[in-house]
Amino acid sequence: MKKRGIINMDFSIFNNKYIIKGKLVVLTALHIGSGVEENGHDAPFITIEKKYYKDEQNKNENGNPNGEYFYIPGSSFRGYLSTKLERFLAKDNNYKFKANKNGKLIDLNEGDVKLIFGYTNLLRKNKEKKIVENEDVIRNVLKEFLDTDTIDRALNGDDKAFDEAKKYSSMSGRIHISDMKILSKIDKSIKRDGIKIDRNTGATEKGGKFDYDILPPGTEFEFIIELDNVEDYQFDLIKLSLIDILEGDLFGGKLSRGIGKCQLILKEINYVKDKKDIENYIFKKDMKKIFSQLEDKKGNSIDNQEFKDFFEIKNLKLDN
């Protein structure tokens, strides 16, 4: 039985929408490859498809754009954010996050990450017919859809209740991160040498030399993240997941080689979150906008306090 008032994961309705825009700046160097080696050369950045390339006249003899055009897969940054949140909310931490939800403080765990990013096979069982996922994580997910009694019975072997719970065993996420197109005018990556180390001996493996591709410091990528039907505390969790990268954090591959330091710079947020906003969005495609920078009377850029306030975390607290 569904709990009254629970509408969070119902994608047939529209409660709110946030679109956050900015850019990711490479501070050291950046590698994002497939991890597959071909002829001793580590596969490079994923090349941007031609739909991203606007100059149709600038093509080579094969009909492809001249040079190399790169992007960071949105799924890569999505994985970065979800991993950050899972670490913050891990059950083995010596602290716990609580959230203000509908005027009540609730305990958070990895299940709340799943509710934002989506999940599959929540109730998967092993060969011994035991549910693999942690019970507290399952409860935090299923309480969005079912009452406590149904959840208890489902986890205690009641077949009818378990069948009801299975309806919510997989769910799409509320977050979408676009592929991050390169903004810098770079048409060629830089090759670096690498060597494989035998983990047992600590010595270089025979024939273990390989190359890998990087993009240089200063390279910039477009950043667009969309959130749909999120609650206030869930939006705060997204803010929490961005904290490190806003100051500069490691991202991408080959991090042990001293590369991968990047910084996210947020530029604007577009949003609809109340009845009037939704009306303007539906009929006029108009969203409220807040920019991170404003101009003073002399034309100088200054920080927008309203933007800072918007990204303040207000609905989360730490508890021992």
Residues 117-175 have pLDDT tens digits of 999 999 999 998 899 999 999 999 999 999 999 999 999 999 999 999 999 999 999 99
> Does residue 127 form part of some domain?
no
Residue 306, pLDDT > 70, answer yes
Strand residue runs (E) in the chain: 17-26, 37-38, 41-42, 71-72, 96-101, 104-107, 175-177, 180-181, 190-197, 204-214, 220-228, 249-250, 261-272, 288-291, 293-295, 301-303, 316-319
Q: In whole angstroms, what is the distance from residue 145 CA to residue 288 CA?
A: 31
How far apart are alpha carbons 109 and 90 in whole angstroms?
A: 6
CB 48 within 8 A of CB 69: yes
Q: Average pLDDT, whole number, for the chain?
A: 82
Residue 73 dihedral angles phi and psi, to the nearest 5°: -60, 135
Average pLDDT over residues 34-62: 47
Residue in 144, 257, 249 with CA at minimum distance from that of residue 193: 257
Please report whether residue 114 resides in a domain. Answer: no
Assigned domain for 224 exists = yes
Of 30, 72, 32, whose CA–CA distance to 259 is shortest?
Answer: 30
Query: How many domains in the chain?
Result: 1
Domain membership of residue 231 (yes or no) is yes
Which pLDDT does position 52 carry in this prediction? 44
Residue 60 has pLDDT above 90, yes or no: no
Q: pTM for the full model?
A: 0.82
Does 283 have pLDDT greater than 80?
yes
Q: What's the pLDDT band for 69 if we cut at 50, 70, 90?
A: low
Residue 8 reports pLDDT greater than 70: no
Query: Does 235 map to a domain?
Result: yes
Task: Evaluate whether residue 232 is within a structural domain.
Answer: yes
Weakest mean pLDDT among 63-72, 139-148, 267-276, 301-310: 63-72
Q: Per the domain annotation, does 101 fall within a domain?
A: no
**The pLDDT of residue 203 is above 80:** no
Give the pLDDT of residue 57: 60
Helix (H, G, I), strand (E, B) or coil at 136: helix
| Domain membership flag for residue 267 | yes
Distance separating the N- and C-terminal Cα atoms of the chain:
33
What's the token pair of residue 119? 């999940």
Q: How confident is the model at residue 250 (pLDDT cuts 50, 70, 90)?
A: confident
Query: Residue 183 is part of which domain span?
Result: 18-93+174-319
